[in-house]
Amino acid sequence: MSTLRKWATPLTVGSFLVMGVTGTLMFFHMNTMLGKVIHEWAGWLMLIGVGAHILLNWRALTTYFKRPLAMWIMGVGAALTVATMLPIGGAGEPPIRSMVMAVTQADEATLMALSGHDLQEGRMLLSEAGVELQPGQSLADATGGDFGLQSAAMSALFASGEDH
């Protein structure tokens, strides 16, 4: 148990820090792909740390089961956890994902029309982003399905703040 004590609380605190910061960034839509991945993996580390922390402090934890306020707070947490597993609020993937997938599947002419660029300008922007689009080819085909490259290409074509 002494070995467990050496790392349980530091792991809980460290993973909570990562989860808190990355979760806050996600809430305000300021997250990055790396932040999302780190958030997901830090969640596993937090589960391990909290599990070990509970094991070490089980007797003290059980006293909270006798306190109405503590039981209410833990009950709300349990209910919210169950609610996250229910198909509430619509089904399927977010509409923005479907829209992005449709754009990446569009042929060259449609892609340029959607982005507001003429063919030559659009090809130049895509080339600068590392994508060589052939006549009639979709962005998905030109990138071989590479989502990172598709994202760079779409950023080049649909960059905000530019007049088309």
> In sequence order, which residues have a C-beta less than 8 Å from that of residue 54 and are 6 or more positions away?
61
Domain ranges of the chain: 2-74, 95-158
Whole-angstrom CA distances from 55 to 14, 61, 115, 162 are: 18, 9, 56, 57
Q: What is the pLDDT along the chain (164 residues), one digit of tens a residue?
A: 778 889 999 999 999 999 999 999 999 888 888 988 999 999 999 999 999 999 999 999 999 999 999 999 999 999 999 988 877 766 666 677 788 888 889 988 888 998 888 888 988 999 998 999 888 889 889 888 888 888 888 888 888 544 44
Query: Residue 40: what pLDDT?
Result: 93
Query: Residue 164: what pLDDT?
Result: 46
Query: Residue 52: what pLDDT?
Result: 95
